């Protein structure tokens, strides 16, 4: 069983979830605004709290403020399962392949308290 679960930021297009689940139906991919996930409009620090509590890796395209929010979160003695930053120069197909590679070939703890910028290679 794979323990990596993704939470897509509200600004990440839903097509990513659709494509991920088409290729890997057993993958858990939630999006902000889904039932059980933080609602749309949730502030970044609260999203990090939710990801910590629920053990989800955040997939976002927020390169501007997320690094500072992560540093603040860690400075408070908390941890983050991980943040994956999307690359606007990658196609949907390339991004989905990267996320599936991470999901299938990684352990959750590999990404704790870090931001990984795609692509990983």
Measured CA to CA, the distance from residue 113 to residue 9 in angstroms comes to: 17
40 and 10 in contact (C-beta within 8 Å)? yes
CB distance 88 to 61 below 8 Å: yes
Query: How confident is the model over 59-89, as pLDDT tens digits?
Result: 999 888 899 999 999 999 999 999 999 999 9
DSSP reduced 3-state for 91: coil
pLDDT at 3: 86
| Predicted confidence (pLDDT) at residue 1 exceeds the cutoff of 90 | no
Portion of the chain with pLDDT greater than 70, in percent: 98
Domains, the chain, in order of start with CATH, read 5-117 (3.40.50)
What is the C-alpha separation between 4 and 103, in angstroms, rounded? 6
pTM to 2 decimal places: 0.95
């Amino acid at each position: 069983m794979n323990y990596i679960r993704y939470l897509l930021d509200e600004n990440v297009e839903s097509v990513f979830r659709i494509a991920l689940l088409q290729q890997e139906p057993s993958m858990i991919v939630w999006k902000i605004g889904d039932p059980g996930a933080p609602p749309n409009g949730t502030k970044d620090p609260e999203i990090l709290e939710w990801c910590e509590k629920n053990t989800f890796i955040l997939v976002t395209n927020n390169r501007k403020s997320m690094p500072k929010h992560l540093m603040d979160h860690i400075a408070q003695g908390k941890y983050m399962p991980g943040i994956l930053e999307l690359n606007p120069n990658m196609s949907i197909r390339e991004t989905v392949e990267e996320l599936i590679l991470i999901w299938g070939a990684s352990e959750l703890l590999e990404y704790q308290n870090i931001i990984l910028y795609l692509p990983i290679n």
